[in-house]
Amino acid sequence: MDELAGDLELLPSTRRALRHRIAVAQSEGRAPSVVAAVLRGGEVVWEGSRTSVEGHGPDGDVQYRIGSITKTFTAVLVMRLRDEGLLSLTDPLDKHLPGTGAGGVTVAQLLSHTGGLAAETPGEWWERTPGEQRPGLADVLGEEPFKVTPGSRHHYSNPGYTLLGSLVEAVRGKPWEEVLRAEVLEPLGLERTSGLPQAPHAGGWAVHPWADVMMPEPLEDLGLMAAAGRLWSTTLDLARFADFLLRGDERVLCAESVREMRTAAAPPEPGLAEMGYGLGMQLMAVGARRLVGHSGSLPGFVAGLWLSEADDVAAVVLANCTSGLPASTVAADLVGIVADAEPRFPRPWRPFLESDRVPLEVCGPWYWGTSAQVVRLGADGLLELGPVGATGRTARFRAEPDGTWTGLSGYYAGETLRAVRREDGSVSHLDLASFVFTREPYDADAPVPGGVDPQGWRGIG
pLDDT digits (tens, 9 = 90+) for 184-216: 999 999 999 999 999 999 999 999 999 999 999
- What pLDDT band is residue 270 in, cutting at 50, 70 and 90? low
* pLDDT score for 5: 40
**In the prediction, which pLDDT does 6 show?**
47
What separation in angstroms does the CA of 56 have from each of 65, 316, 324, 330, 446? 20, 20, 22, 22, 74
What mean pLDDT do residues 406-423 have?
91
- Give residue 408's pLDDT: 87
Dump pLDDT digits (tens) for 350-370: 999 888 888 999 999 999 999
> Could you tell me the end-to-end alpha-carbon distance of the chain, in angstroms, rounded to an integer?
64
**Is 319:325 a contact under the CB 8 Å cutoff?**
yes
- Do 56 and 169 lie in one domain? The reply is yes
**In the beta sheet, which residues pair with residue 368?**
371, 437
Which pLDDT value is given to residue 273? 56
What is the domain range of residue 296? 14-341
Q: Is residue 450 part of a domain?
A: no
Residues 335 and 368 in one domain: no
Q: Within this chain, do residues 373 and 335 fall inside the same structural domain, yes or no?
A: no
The set of residues, in sequence order, having a beta carbon less than 8 Å from that of 242 and lying 6+ positions away, is 39, 293, 305, 307, 314, 316
β-strand pairing of 205-207 with 275-277: unpaired
Question: Nearest to residue 48, comparing CAs of 9, 78, 17?
Answer: 17
pLDDT number for residue 275: 77
Q: How many angstroms separate the CA atoms of 240 and 258, rounded?
A: 14
Residue 398 and residue 380: Cα distance in Å, rounded?
10
Instruction: Write the burial class of residue 443 (CB in 10 Å: 0-12 exposed, 13-18 middle, 19+ buried).
Output: middle
- Cis-peptide, bond into residue 159, ω within 30° of zero: no
Contact assessment for residue 275 and residue 332, using Cβ atoms and an 8 Å cutoff: no
116 with 79, same domain?
yes
DSSP 3-state of 141:
helix
Candidate from 191-195, 217-221, 303-307 with smallest mean pLDDT: 217-221
| 202 and 270 belong to one structural domain | yes
- Mean pLDDT value across residues 70-76: 98
- Give the Cα-Cα-Cα angle 69, 71, 76 (nearest 5 degrees): 110
So what's the pLDDT on residue 43?
96
Mean pLDDT lowest for which of 42-46, 117-121, 221-225, 266-270? 266-270
CATH of the domain at 266: 3.40.710.10
Residue 241 lies in a domain: yes
Q: What value does the mean pLDDT take over residues 126-134?
A: 90
Report if residue 164 sits inside a domain.
yes
Q: Is 355 exposed, middle or buried (0-12, 13-18, 19+ CB in 10 A)?
A: exposed
Whether residue 314 sits in one domain with residue 377: no
Together in a domain, 331 and 387: no
Domain shared by 310 and 365, yes or no: no
* Same structural domain, 92 and 214: yes
Structural domain contains residue 8: no
Residue 351 domain-assigned?
A: no
Is-contact 101 141, C-beta < 8 A? Answer: yes
Residues 132 and 260 in one domain: yes
Q: Percent of the chain, pLDDT > 90?
A: 85
Q: What are the angstrom distances between the C-alpha of 135 and each of 142, 326, 331?
A: 12, 33, 36
Same-domain pairing of 126 and 200: yes
What is the pLDDT at residue 4? 43
Question: Which of 127, 157, 164 has its CA nearest to residue 142?
Answer: 157
Q: Is pTM beyond 0.95 here? A: no
Asked, for residue 188, whether it belongs to a domain, the answer is yes
Out of 307, 341, 375, pick the residue that ends a domain.
341
CA–CA separation, 123 and 2 (whole Å): 59
For residue 337, report the phi and psi dihedrals to the nearest 5 degrees. Answer: -60, -45
Are residues 240 and 378 located together in one domain of the fold? no
Strand order in the sheet with 289-298: 43-51, 33-40, 313-319, 301-308, 289-298, 282-286, 275-277
How far is 23 from 310, CA to CA, in rounded Å?
27
- d(CA 221, CA 126) in angstroms, rounded, equals 10
80 Cα distance to chain centroid: 15
DSSP 150-204: TTSS----HHHHHHHHHHHHHHHSS-HHHHHIIIIIHHHT-TT-BSS--SSBPPP
